Structure 1
Amino acid sequence: MTDALVVITALEKSFGAGPPAIQNLTTTIKPGQVTGLVGPDGAGKTTLMRLMAALLKPSAGRIETCGFDTVARAADIRDVIGYMPQRFGLYEDLTVLENLTLYADLRGVLGQARTDTFERLLAFTDLARFTGRLAGALSGGMKQKLGLACAMLRSPRLLLLDEPSVGVDPISRRELWRMVYALIAEGVGVVWSTAYLDEAENCAEVIVMNGGRVLYQGDPKAMTATMAGRVFHARGAGAERREALARALTRPDIVDGVLQGEAIRLVTAEGAPAPQPENLGAAAPVEIVAAAPRFEDAFVALLGGQAKHALSVAARAPMDDSGALPVEARALTRRFGDFTAADSITFQIKRGEIFGLLGPNGAGKSTTFKMMCGLLRPTEGTALVDGLDLYKASSAARGRLGYMAQKFSLYGDLSVRQNLEFFAGAYGLSGARRREAVARVVEAFDLKPHLDENAGGLPLGFKQRLALSAAIMHEPPVLFLDEPTSGVDPLTRREFWATINAMVGRGVTVMVTTHFMDEAEYCDRIALIYRGRAIAVGTPEALQARVRSPEIPAPTLEDAFVALVEESDKPRAAA
């Protein structure tokens, strides 16, 4: 195809003695559109992007990018593409303008061309107001915009974006997509790798990869359409919905299932009949109705569905209820100089409830979360765990909670076993109690095959298991999760949340921050934080109902998120 931006023929890429990262891959990337690259962790997406960018050499086969062979003409390719890596690759101790200047020097953009390019990109990304701000002080969305600006310094024919929206709130994600569509209108071709499968539906074409192979390439809507008649909502299970979901997932005729607000979303095996209410085992009457399929349903089904093993954490005895509220924020306020990051935030979380803390980047969500975990002292107000003030009885209160950080925070140079032993000791476990605790989480999270591996070299899904294991070794009644599945593929997310749901069934209380709106629907209630205040608190359905209108008759949770933030801004704009 002469009009293809990238032509890949019989491509192979291996690293050492393990299985190939890319296996016998033949495909093309078309110009003038967004091509989505999706697949589970380790599918080969990043490796493929780096091969297209001539940053890696094929082990076998051939790639032509923008008409140039990636081995013979690598320098020519780098002049006509832009590449934005998965992790923020800029210099956090340089300002926005200094980062742009450095990359302009590296790309040979000089003189009047540099002045004109900077002016255009700063306007395009809305970063002109922040040229003097350090990159490390930018919000997640602004960092991604700066990375995009640096990738576009040479007006590329092909733009490679490796998971550009990981850790970015829904409003910033929509802004990134608007910018990308503007580039498409100018004739730029874009390859967008993503862990957010709702984003795949924005692409003209998707390439679904697994194990270094292409499983599907084509229109995402056509792939979604293959699931017609196989997706259902079960409503009415109420407080039993987590147990009902776990039972449904043990059945061979159910290949996928997640919570969607108060409903259970179920996907049946090909050719299987609709699920029956009695199969869910709920005491309350359950109604099962057909639901519109979405791309994620087709993706999970294509990969073989959810794993059927049940983690033994579900078999532990129920938590004792002390009678006190497990988590309570009373007028929490935090100021940094003249800036108020959190302003009189109040909420209560009940026993065995999952409570989501959502908000745009820079809105005060992380500040609130850190105060609730005891990581940041409030200027005013009180944070309580099981009735204990985190700052007056800090040792006792912290012994009642488990904490899983956003970024992998265990010791990468220690083995899995050594990490577990260390954290058992840190929580005051010794002797038989320590041995029992380590054995319990090893069994519950299927860590035995990896006990002697260094934690830093684990696949991302097993890193998440290990981090969660360390957080719950002392069996805390309260668990704080800070964006626990950021950048994790849908199958790994489902496994992670099956574990959380089992713990909640025992009475564990969970507070979680997330930018995945489908994940937010797993929560019983949500607080939406914006400009340092809680602008809405309620169930996912209640927040969606607040923004329902003739223009948006069936709002998604993302629609509700954006509309409630915009509604909060209206009085400020009028003033």
Structure 2
Amino acid sequence: MAASATSSPFVQIADVSKRFGTAPPALDAVSGAIEGGHITGLVGPDGAGKTTLIRMMTGLMMPDGGTIDVLGFDTRRDPARIQAAIGYMPQRFGLYEDLSVQENLNLYADLRGLPKADRPATFDELLTFTDLKRFTGRLAGQLSGGMKQKLGLACALLKKPRLLLLDEPGVGVDPISRRDLWKMVKDLTTEGIGVVWSTAYLDEAEACDRVLLLNQGKLLFTGPPSELTGRVDGRVFRLSGLTGRRRPILAKALDQNGVIDGVMQGASIRLVVEANADVAAIATAIAGANITTAPASPRFEDAFVDMLGGGPGGRSRLAETTTALPTDDDKPVIEARGLTKRFGDFTAAQDITFQIPRGQIFGLLGPNGAGKSTTFKMLCGLLRPTGGEGRVAGFDLRRDTAQARNRLGYMAQKFSLYGDLSVAQNLDFFAGVYGLSGARKRERIRLMTEIFDFAPHASLSAKDLPLGLKQRLALACAVMHEPEALFLDEPTSGVDPITRREFWTHINALVEKGVTVLVTTHFMDEAEYCDRISLIYRGRSIALGSPDDLKASVATTANPDPTMEDAFIALVQASEADDTAGKAAA
């Protein structure tokens, strides 16, 4: 039975503050409550203070000021009693990758003091709950991202907790696995368990019963997500029937008076405007009179961006300093021809084929472990294919590796920067790697430093930068040599919505200069920026087309206007059904 709204809160946070060294406060006078039988979202970008607050709830970290009461115990006086009653799954859950699923469960049962007599029934219940029964003998290191999160959840639930603290369980997890995790956690709340779900994905906030919205250590909002979303009701519009390229139209829209925010939605543009703004006049100014303007349902992210003062505008100084590439060359810039990769008897990617013309964005989407990262790495020269070939700017990645790499820029969520090098040293290093020297090298480093405002941070180590600044530095390093092709591997995971918009403003403007982009992402709204998408599942491309094509292919009478997430899930499920039917027929 779920806890009633009138029962005492499971967690009471009162005026809590925390500071690390001389940096701005990680938490600044935060207050709020966590109820039993509900999911409370701890929402905000990386660096907002979410992990700090969760660690304080566990009693692993003490506040500098204020108090936290968990299940009737003060975290300062009774941390051990709190830790015995809660389940905690940190961001980087401590699975032992060289142990199997069952061995990890055995280890955590020992650590949690689960009686041996209770273990068979508990393991059976949790393995059924997480759908991991088939994989008990598989090493944790060989699980997909979603399966690792399910195993982490099972380990956190070995002794049924009253309060479950989940620190960003959806990061890097595909939409299907995220939906599975949500269903599992919602089922737990029916038993009265209180759940804290920390997330940087603002669409996840809408699935919570209540949210605490944090940004730079400050609590901006607490309450039902619909209450915040309602603040932009009547101010969100969808512009369709656009002619010509969408990206310049969006850039123009973002610089119009009265426009708070704007994003692409397939062939349409979605705008958030100020109250009483003349939407028809804005639409005419950016795209002419013959377009359709219709109200759209507001989203939590719309309200958050509005609360932060709006997006960064449509101008990209990065693109303004980039040399335009010739547009009369109709040869593809990035090509995959039957790309195949096998690891022993396992085929990670099979016969992947597509071409990307100059000045387009192409997306690789797929569940964790589907083969998209393998395909991506083959195309940027980081992994040698077993069969087929990849080309960049006409150069074969097997035979002409050095020439191909000098034509591309690579940006990853992790590992693309050297953490022990300073900002200035990273810029200098990558300029040399990409073949810049002399006056041109100095000029490009100067431009990147000026455009991204690196001067105040030039001597800081890359590992010590806030995530948003790391992302800017990684982008600067990837484009410093003005590449023809740009490879973006999960480039914006965890960053705040304003930084994400700044990033896509630069990318969209670079594409208008003729740069060709290959991107992987788990953000389905980012997939809307793509001209075409290949959806990869079980090593094969199961769908290829524009975002609108993929959405239209799964539209039904019950859901005539599906989202990209709807399309992703429906297409994967249809492929699974086809495979099952094929096996049955055989």
Give TM-score scaled by structure 2 length.
Answer: 0.95
Give the alignment partner of residue 319 of structure 1, picking from 310, 317, 325: 325
Q: What is the rounded CA distance, in whole Å, between the counterparts of 2:293 and 2:455 in structure 1?
A: 39
Larger displacement relative to structure 2 (102-111 or 501-510): 102-111
Counterpart in the other structure of 2:347 = 340
Q: CA deviation at 1:284?
A: 8.7
Q: What is the rounded CA distance, in whole Å, between the counterparts of 1:41 and 1:468 in structure 2?
A: 18
Q: CA deviation at 1:33?
A: 0.6
Q: What is the rounded CA distance, in whole Å, between the counterparts of 1:278 and 1:306 in structure 2?
A: 18
Give the alignment partner of residue 7 of structure 1, picking from 12, 15, 18: 12
Q: CA deviation at 1:38?
A: 1.0
Counterpart in the other structure of 1:518 = 525
Counterpart in the other structure of 1:105 = 110
Counterpart in the other structure of 2:223 = 218
Q: What is the rounded CA distance, in whole Å, between the counterparts of 1:535 and 1:280 in structure 2?
A: 40
User: 1:268·1:275 contact (CA, 8 Å) conserved in 2?
Assistant: no
Counterpart in the other structure of 2:185 = 180
Q: Which runs of 4+ in 1 moved over 4 A?
A: 277-280
Give the alignment partner of residue 197 of structure 1, picking from 190, 194, 202: 202
Give the alignment partner of residue 463 of structure 1, picking from 470, 484, 496: 470
Counterpart in the other structure of 2:3 = none
Q: What is the rounded CA distance, in whole Å, between the counterparts of 1:154 and 1:239 in structure 2?
A: 59
Equivalent position SS for 1:463: helix
Counterpart in the other structure of 1:353 = 360
Counterpart in the other structure of 2:241 = 236
User: 2:551·2:562 contact (CA, 8 Å) conserved in 1?
Assistant: yes
Where in structure 2 are there 5+ consecutive unaligned residues?
1-5
Q: Residues 105-184 of structure 1: matches in 2 within 5 Å?
A: 105-184=110-189
Counterpart in the other structure of 2:500 = 493
Give the alignment partner of residue 528 of structure 1, picking from 528, 535, 556: 535
Q: CA deviation at 1:89?
A: 2.9
After superposition, what is the alpha-carbon deviation per residue over 1:42-93, rounded to whole angstroms, capped at 9, x for unaligned? 2211111111111110111111111110010000000111111122432222
Equivalent position SS for 1:296: helix
User: 1:234·1:263 contact (CA, 8 Å) conserved in 2?
Assistant: yes
Q: What is the rounded CA distance, in whole Å, between the counterparts of 1:270 and 1:55 in structure 2?
A: 45
User: 1:277·1:287 contact (CA, 8 Å) conserved in 2?
Assistant: no
User: 1:248·1:279 contact (CA, 8 Å) conserved in 2?
Assistant: no
Q: 1:346 to 1:114 in 2, by over 3 A?
A: same
Q: CA deviation at 1:427?
A: 1.3
Counterpart in the other structure of 1:65 = 70
User: 1:408·1:463 contact (CA, 8 Å) conserved in 2?
Assistant: no
Q: What is the rounded CA distance, in whole Å, between the counterparts of 1:2 and 1:335 in structure 2?
A: 56
Counterpart in the other structure of 1:446 = 453
Q: 1:112 to 1:31 in 2, by over 3 A?
A: same
Q: CA deviation at 1:404?
A: 1.1
Counterpart in the other structure of 1:478 = 485
Equivalent position SS for 1:12: strand
User: 1:33·1:204 contact (CA, 8 Å) conserved in 2?
Assistant: yes
Q: What is the rounded CA distance, in whole Å, between the counterparts of 2:561 and 2:315 in structure 1?
A: 34
The one-letter code matched in structure 2 to 1:127 is L
User: 1:125·1:146 contact (CA, 8 Å) conserved in 2?
Assistant: yes
User: 1:257·1:264 contact (CA, 8 Å) conserved in 2?
Assistant: yes
Aligned-residue sequence identity (percent) comes to: 61
Q: Residues 405-420 of structure 1: matches in 2 within 5 Å?
A: 405-420=412-427
After superposition, what is the alpha-carbon deviation per residue over 1:7-36, rounded to whole angstroms, capped at 9, x for unaligned? 111212121222221122221111101111
Q: What is the rounded CA distance, in whole Å, between the counterparts of 2:474 and 2:201 in structure 1?
A: 22
Alignment RMSD: 1.7
User: 1:311·1:444 contact (CA, 8 Å) conserved in 2?
Assistant: no
Q: Residues 258-337 of structure 1: matches in 2 within 5 Å?
A: 258-274=263-279, 276-277=281-282, 280-282=285-287, 285-308=290-313, 310-315=315-320, 316-321=322-327, 322-337=329-344
Larger displacement relative to structure 2 (521-530 or 311-320): 311-320
Q: Residues 397-436 of structure 1: matches in 2 within 5 Å?
A: 397-436=404-443
Q: What is the rounded CA distance, in whole Å, between the counterparts of 2:385 and 2:175 in structure 1?
A: 28
Q: CA deviation at 1:327?
A: 0.8
Where in structure 1 are there 5+ consecutive unaligned residues?
none
Counterpart in the other structure of 1:92 = 97
Count of residues in correspondence between the two structures? 575
Equivalent position SS for 2:506: helix
After superposition, what is the alpha-carbon deviation per residue over 1:393-442, rounded to whole angstroms, capped at 9, x for unaligned? 11111111111123143111111000110111111211111101211222
After superposition, what is the alpha-carbon deviation per residue over 1:328-353, rounded to whole angstroms, capped at 9, x for unaligned? 11111112222221111111111110
Q: What is the rounded CA distance, in whole Å, between the counterparts of 1:397 and 1:339 in structure 2?
A: 28
Q: What is the rounded CA distance, in whole Å, between the counterparts of 1:277 and 1:364 in structure 2?
A: 43
Q: Residues 540-559 of structure 1: matches in 2 within 5 Å?
A: 540-559=547-566
The one-letter code matched in structure 1 to 2:573 is E
After superposition, what is the alpha-carbon deviation per residue over 1:381-403, rounded to whole angstroms, capped at 9, x for unaligned? 11111222111111111111111
Q: 1:560 to 1:2 in 2, by over 3 A?
A: closer
Q: What is the rounded CA distance, in whole Å, between the counterparts of 1:447 and 1:169 in structure 2?
A: 33
Equivalent position SS for 2:576: helix
Q: 1:408 to 1:305 in 2, by over 3 A?
A: farther
Equivalent position SS for 1:545: helix
Larger displacement relative to structure 2 (15-24 or 189-198): 15-24
Q: CA deviation at 1:544?
A: 0.6
The one-letter code matched in structure 1 to 2:279 is A
Q: What is the rounded CA distance, in whole Å, between the counterparts of 1:76 and 1:39 in structure 2?
A: 29
Q: Residues 19-98 of structure 1: matches in 2 within 5 Å?
A: 19-98=24-103
Larger displacement relative to structure 2 (8-17 or 537-546): 8-17
Q: CA deviation at 1:287?
A: 3.0
